[in-house]
Amino acid sequence: MTTVTSTTAPPADSRVLALAHYAARGVLESVLARHDATFEQSVTLRAVAVADGPIGREALVGQVVGSLKADPALVRETVGELVAKGLCAAEDDTVRLTAAGREFQAAVTAETAPISARIWADIPAADLAATGRVLALVTERADAELAALK
C-alpha cells in the first residue's frame, strides 16, 4: 500500500479530487461489470434501495440528477434499464426495489466492502473529518457555480 506523507502530499485541488474520485469509481465499476451493471445504474438503484418504500419516479430522477449532474432524460433511461433488468419495479409513478434488486445490492456491497476497508484503512479520524468538511464545502460551492451557469 502506498502511503502519502504530509510532506509529499499535493495540495488539494480539482485534479487531486478527480484522481481520487476516478480511482475509487474504477474499483466500483470493476465490481459492477461482473454484474453487468453501470455506475449510473448503481447510483440510481442505491437511491431506490435507501428510500423508505416506493419512491416517486420524478423524485428519484431529481435525486440522481442532483448527485450525478446528469441529464434527466438519461436518468429516466437508467430507471427503465433497472426495471427491464428486474432490479426495480415501476408502478404508476413510483419505483420500488425488487427482491432481485436487494440481492444485487447485497452482492455488490459484499464485494466492495473489503476493498473499501483496505482503501480507507489507517487514515486518522481527524484527517477524515477535515477532508469531509473540505469536500462538503467544495461540493456546495461547485453546486452554486453550476446553478449560476444555468
| pLDDT for res 119 | 96
SS3 148: helix
Q: What's the pLDDT tens digit per position in 74-90?
A: 999 999 999 999 999 99
3-state secondary structure of 88: strand
- Number of neighbouring beta carbons within 10 Å of residue 89: 17
Q: How much is the pLDDT for 2?
A: 56
88-134 tens-digit pLDDT: 999 999 999 999 999 999 999 999 999 999 999 999 999 999 999 99
This prediction's pTM: 0.88
Instruction: Report yes or no: 14 and 86 within 8 Å, Cβ to Cβ.
Output: no
- Domains in the chain (CATH in brackets) are 16-121 (1.10.10.10)
CA atoms within 13 A on the CB side of 137: 8
Q: What is the percent of the chain where pLDDT is above 70?
A: 95
Q: Which residue has the cell 474499483?
A: 27
Place of cell 476497508: 117
